[in-house]
Structure 1
């Protein structure tokens, strides 16, 4: 097993032992052997480690040459990545910009004629869409630097936005659940109070000031008002959706949104968020006959996160345009939706084509290596 990164020269970490050896040799003019190290440690462990750690840290910080070499290699990798994936990146950015512009137009629309429930729906969908646009930008930033697994983690969040937006949008066609958007917005009060209580338990350990008692009292009052308004079940993580979706968990919300088929992708992306064994094991792969652990950038595996991100962003945008202003869709909205769908397909095609080039290049290298 080995570690895989894009670097070809010694990194600062790899030079750590060299720095320790140099400092010992300079300080005592001794041959560095295991016996010497043991003697130093036995005579004065703390003074020794304090002195050595300070010296090593100073040497690392002063090693400008290694830092520059690594930075140069990173720039070279980024240039090669852009050369191979540049067109795919360009289409991704265009699709993201199209979705963002659609959201900006929705924000400027007249909402005076909407009912209170429709206004709540508009507010929830606008805010969900705005954050989805931001997270899509984060996905692009990670993909364009060679971190597809990090992008995949953010795709998980985008999927949650798409599901939540879809559920809220669908509820507007259900007379019995037209207040779902308001429930979603009001649930912030539950989260605020819980986080404040948690902070009050932790602030001493964090060496931070407490939340003022008056603030806690106001939060608790609002919390109790929400429980009185919506019931005890509103306390739950998805309590805002309990009446609309009796099984108030995210899997059930996926089904209500018609997106249950994305469950396996969601679980895959979850492996890049949590510390479970499955996700940890996914951080390794076979590379040229060896099992390697990923510690750096890669020029492969960008297609799936890119497609997932644009799919979720498209879904969130469509819900906003169709449901965000009381179901009134104008010609500009229709054009935007059709354009975004074309760009979604184009993004998937370009990333798949770029991955195929990478795969062919690696296959050619492997053949040449065997001959």
Structure 2
């Protein structure tokens, strides 16, 4: 559209320059103001028709020779160059003038459009809920069990707080929060977004498992690593232009920077040089998956937590976090069809729904602060049964959706068998 506008404006400007020049020549040969003759001459020139123009009018026959000197041609060229140089500004002005009424019209019509979109949205969500209701119910019940379990365990741990109870409580709270975000996205038909958020849920549940596996020493190192993160973030921010409107982004003063550096150096001195790595808090406690002594990665943490089997799906979830070209070909909401997905879909909810159920159940089972009471065992059993039923419901809804899709495709192809 911009290219068409540029061509239109340029053609109009050139036509105006040529028209003025021809008008001047017609007046010079005594023909006066003849817009009809001028337009016929310009059309003749643009058509590349060889020979002179034969123009019929009511006046006497005469031959007119219009010749432009080199100086006149140069003057027209200067005018055209000025037009071309000013074209971006002309386009901006034209766009501004054209956008104003469209903008006002959008606001004027928006209440009606909003009602229309809201009605469509409610219809879609209602149909989505009817199809996936059992999976949604299972996830909601898991969240409810998790909240009640988390409150009970946290209240019991508050009597004798430690670094371990502190870390586990915050991790479990984060897990419940992110799981709730996942369920909200699923409720609205955003399977790919839910799987992207599950990525964080998976990471947090892996850490919770490891905290229970390695106990207080790992929790203390995990908290101590805040000094490393804080110093590295502050050091990196020195090379990034600061937003003057963002008070939180302002660099620290000399005294605060020195304090951060002291804490960083103290942590490295206590835990060793490898502690400065992203997962340095786990070095020396959490083993590498390949048995080496290299720096830990998340894959090593997942393997140590018994979740290595989800590595492929963790990678798939990352496609919806980082806009790589590979992500173009992997959209749950398209259900294997070609196309571009720009909104909600009733397809693809089974994978993120099942993974959220698994990660949430895992977190419930391991949020015990290493005190396996009867209540914890009972809650875990309930969560596991909810998980299994939720996954079964997700697969059932997916299977029915595929059958419905196949039936619809056969009808569209003229085969109503």
Give TM-score, length-normalised by structure 2. 0.72
8 A contact 1:285–1:292 mirrored in 2: no
Structure 2 residue 75 is the aligned partner of structure 1 residue 35: no
Q: CA RMSD in A?
A: 2.6
Tell me which residue corresponds to 2:151.
104
Tell me which residue corresponds to 1:361.
404
- Compute the displacement of 1:113 (Å): 6.0
Structure 2 residue 205 is the aligned partner of structure 1 residue 165: no
- Choose from 268, 274, 291 the match for 1:227: 268
Tell me which residue corresponds to 2:53.
none
Distance in 1 (CA, whole Å) between partners of 2:319 and 2:393 is 26
Distance in 1 (CA, whole Å) between partners of 2:385 and 2:332 is 35
- Compute the displacement of 1:188 (Å): 1.7
Structure 2 residue 325 is the aligned partner of structure 1 residue 277: yes
* Structure 1 residues 239 and 286, CA gap change in structure 2 (3 angstroms): closer
Match of 1:44, SS state, is: helix
- Choose from 192, 208, 217 the match for 1:149: 192
- Choose from 282, 292, 297 the match for 1:241: 282
8 A contact 2:333–2:346 mirrored in 1: no
Aligned length: 328
8 A contact 1:238–1:249 mirrored in 2: yes
8 A contact 2:350–2:391 mirrored in 1: yes
Q: Which runs of 5+ in 1 are unaligned?
A: 1-16, 21-31, 173-177
Runs of 4+ in 1 over 4 A off after TM superposition: 36-41, 110-114, 284-288
Pairing of 1:293-308 with structure 2 (within 5 A):
293-308=340-355
* Pair member with larger Rg: 2
Distance in 1 (CA, whole Å) between partners of 2:261 and 2:327 is 38
Structure 2 residue 179 is the aligned partner of structure 1 residue 179: no
8 A contact 2:335–2:347 mirrored in 1: no
Structure 2 residue 242 is the aligned partner of structure 1 residue 204: yes
* Structure 1 residues 285 and 212, CA gap change in structure 2 (3 angstroms): closer
Give TM-score, length-normalised by structure 1. 0.81
Tell me which residue corresponds to 2:129.
82
Structure 2 residue 50 is the aligned partner of structure 1 residue 50: no
- Compute the displacement of 1:50 (Å): 2.7
Match of 2:251, SS state, is: coil
Match of 2:371, SS state, is: coil
8 A contact 2:333–2:348 mirrored in 1: no
Tell me which residue corresponds to 1:263.
311
Match of 1:204, SS state, is: coil
Distance in 2 (CA, whole Å) between partners of 1:259 and 1:216 is 39
* Structure 1 residues 182 and 133, CA gap change in structure 2 (3 angstroms): same
- Choose from 380, 384, 392 the match for 1:349: 392
